[in-house]
Amino acid sequence: MNKRQQDERNIATLDSRFNQTLRNVQGLLQGRSMPGKILLSRRSDPPDNSNSKISSPDYRRSFSHNDAGTSNHTSGAVEEEFQSTSKPISTANVSRLKLSTSFGGSPPEEIRKSTMGARATDSARVMKFTTVLSGTVVILDKLRELAWSGVPDNMRPKVWRLLLGYAPTNSDRREGVLRRKRLEYLDYVSQYYDIPDTERSDDEVNMLHQIAVDCPRTVPEVPFFQQLHVQKSLERILYAWAIRHPASGYVQGINDLVTPFLVVFLSEHLEGGIDNWSMSDLSSDIISNIEADCYWCLSKLLDGMQDHYTFAQPGIQRLVFKLKELVRRIDEPVLQHVEDQGLEFLQFAFRWFNCLLIREIPFHLVTRLWDTYLAEGDALPDFLVYISASFFLTWSDNLQKLDFQELVLFLQHLPTQNWTHQELEMVLSRAFMWHSMFNNSPNHLAS
């Protein structure tokens, strides 16, 4: 068998698995039982696809079994819960699921090197994005539905500005609003940052010092963030934001939340991979505009979760509690084991919610994850619980074999360094499915 035939055979295998799951999802809409093992665990053999009439010729994602695993304890609980759910899954929502569900397989090396799943970059999806974005007024509901499954790289800056409400949906107003907002940010920097310490209060001096200490620690595994120009940009953005948001001020972890915005908005001006970028190649005006976009998008993002970063961070504590209860419903054996070992969810999940999982996955996957975050809009804090549950239960079988110290070490240094988009798509798929089944159940989570 020559290489081309092998490639076609690998792609056909992925298509077969996708179509099988699509049939099962359609079965959900028709009232049939929940296909637990199809969506919740790996398949070792391709299912029979002889009756499928739906093709997916461009579903080309890679999946490494080295780090990811799924639990077999979920199917009974999930099926029981689905049958008690009061609100059916809509066709529009199932379209999200079928676009982001991932499967096993070994596609050829050319496909494995793809930086995104084909469904975020194939010509049909690019055309849909182009159509939505080219309208005089962008319909945000349509844009959110598309963005949930991934945004093409070259469209991401524009899409993110729109999803966050920073850029107006009306194209006639967009340029003027962005110009005004960028000038406003410049005023903040001049008023708050570009002043001597003698004009700051003691609290402001201490806050600026803490930010200056944290910036070099931000995403340390990516050399780009060790550039002095990058750290100074982070420092200005964070300090301006903290001064303008005195209810919380600067909280460690917010520095991580700036990084996806910085990379995305820099991508409009720098070519190639992030490893070859240098902010010193850009003019001060461009850098200022990029910082302003980061500042305003960070502000929009955190407006919907302000109590995550106020005193004692009650919003995060609430999400950690909900995560524990959700895990109890989906996979009680692993929760029982964690409790028997004396491990509290707050000991590992607090960082997950505080940094929105940025520190838990390879940085090159973060922007794809944030496509889904921003598509969720105001519902993001709630959906974060489901993403974190899916993330945690990826290692359910492994966790049940570990004692307390091993659990702590494992959960603080998760084996995700070799993850590809395939593993991340699997996490998002399970999260969406569980959210669709559980979120409207009358007996959902204790309040």
Alpha-carbon gap, residue 100 to 436, rounded angstroms:
14
Query: In 3D, which of 340, 349, 348, 347 has the Cα closest to residue 320?
Result: 349
Output the pLDDT for position 304. 86
- Residue appearing with tokens 């179509």: 19
pLDDT for the residue numbered 99: 38
Based on the fold, state whether residues 328 and 393 are members of the same structural domain.
Answer: yes
**Least confidently predicted of 22-36, 163-177, 277-291, 427-441:** 22-36
What domain range is 240 assigned to? 171-303
139 in a structural domain: no
Closest CA to 391 of 436, 351, 343, 336: 351
115 domain-assigned: no
On whether both 289 and 342 belong to a single domain, the answer is: no
As a whole number, mean pLDDT of residues 359-363 equals 97
Within a domain: 164: no
Cβ atoms 38, 1 nearer than 8 A: no
Nearest to 138 by CA among 92, 160, 170, 172: 170
Q: What is the pLDDT of residue 9?
A: 59
Question: Do both 277 and 369 map to the same domain?
Answer: no
| Residue range 33-80, pLDDT digits in tens | 333 322 333 333 334 444 433 333 332 233 333 333 344 444 344 434
Amino acid at 338: V
Q: Are 329 and 299 part of one and the same domain?
A: no
Count of alpha carbons within 13 angstroms of residue 440, beta-carbon side: 12
pLDDT at 103 over 80: no
Do 332 and 420 belong together in one domain? yes
- Residue 336 belongs to a domain: yes
393 found inside a domain: yes
Q: Which of 169-178, 290-299, 306-315 has the weakest average pLDDT?
A: 306-315
**Residues 320, 294 share a domain:** no
Q: What pLDDT shows up at residue 65? A: 33
CA distances from 292 to 175, 201, 230 (A): 14, 24, 14
Count the domains in the chain. Answer: 2
Single residue among 255, 278, 303 that ends a domain in this structure: 303
Which residue among 274, 303, 332 closes a domain? Answer: 303
Question: Of the residues 258, 281, 303, which one is the last residue of a structural domain?
Answer: 303
Residues 291 and 282: their CA atoms lie apart, in Å, by: 12
Q: What is the pLDDT of residues 364-381, one digit of tens each?
A: 999 999 999 999 999 999
One-letter identity of residue 288:
S
Q: Compute the distance between CA of residue 243 and CA of residue 232 in angstroms, rounded to an integer.
A: 16
Structure tokens at 177: 């609003």
pLDDT number for residue 119: 54
Same-domain status, 366 and 431 = yes
In the predicted model, is pLDDT for residue 303 greater than 80? yes
User: What's the pLDDT score for residue 105?
Assistant: 35
User: In this predicted structure, what is the pLDDT of residue 85?
Assistant: 34
Same-domain pairing of 344 and 434 = yes
Pick from 325, 321, 333, 349: nearest CA to 75: 333
Q: What's the CATH number where 294 sits?
A: 1.10.8.270
pLDDT of residue 31: 36
Residues 275 and 318 in one domain: no
Which pLDDT score is estimated for 3? 54
> What are the structure tokens assigned to 190, written together?
């001049």
The C-alpha atoms of residue 162 and residue 296 are separated, in whole angstroms, by 12
**Considering the domain boundaries, does residue 109 fall inside one?**
no
Question: In angstroms, rounded to a whole number, what is the distance separating the alpha carbons of residues 15 and 55?
Answer: 7
Across the range 84-90, mean pLDDT stands at 37
CA-nearest of 66, 59, 18 to 394 is 66
Average pLDDT value for the chain: 80
Query: Can you give the pLDDT at residue 78?
Result: 40
Evaluate whether residue 41 is within a structural domain. no
Whether 291 and 329 map to the same domain: the answer is: no
CA distances to 77, 105, 175 from 230, rounded to whole Å, are 47, 39, 26
Flag whether pLDDT at 86 surpasses 50. Answer: no
DSSP state of 90: P
Q: Are residues 330 and 414 in the same domain?
A: yes
Q: Are 136 and 168 in contact (CB under 8 A)?
A: no
Distance CA 166, CA 302 (A): 13
Residue 407's domain is classified under what CATH number? Answer: 1.10.472.80
Q: Looking at residue 244, what is its pLDDT?
A: 96
Asked whether residue 161 is assigned to any structural domain, the reply reads no
Per-residue pLDDT at 126 exceeds 70? yes
Centre a 10 Å sphere on the Cβ of residue 405 and count the other Cβ atoms it contains.
Answer: 10
The answer on 388 and 277 residing in a single domain is: no
389 vs 73, residue with greater confidence: 389
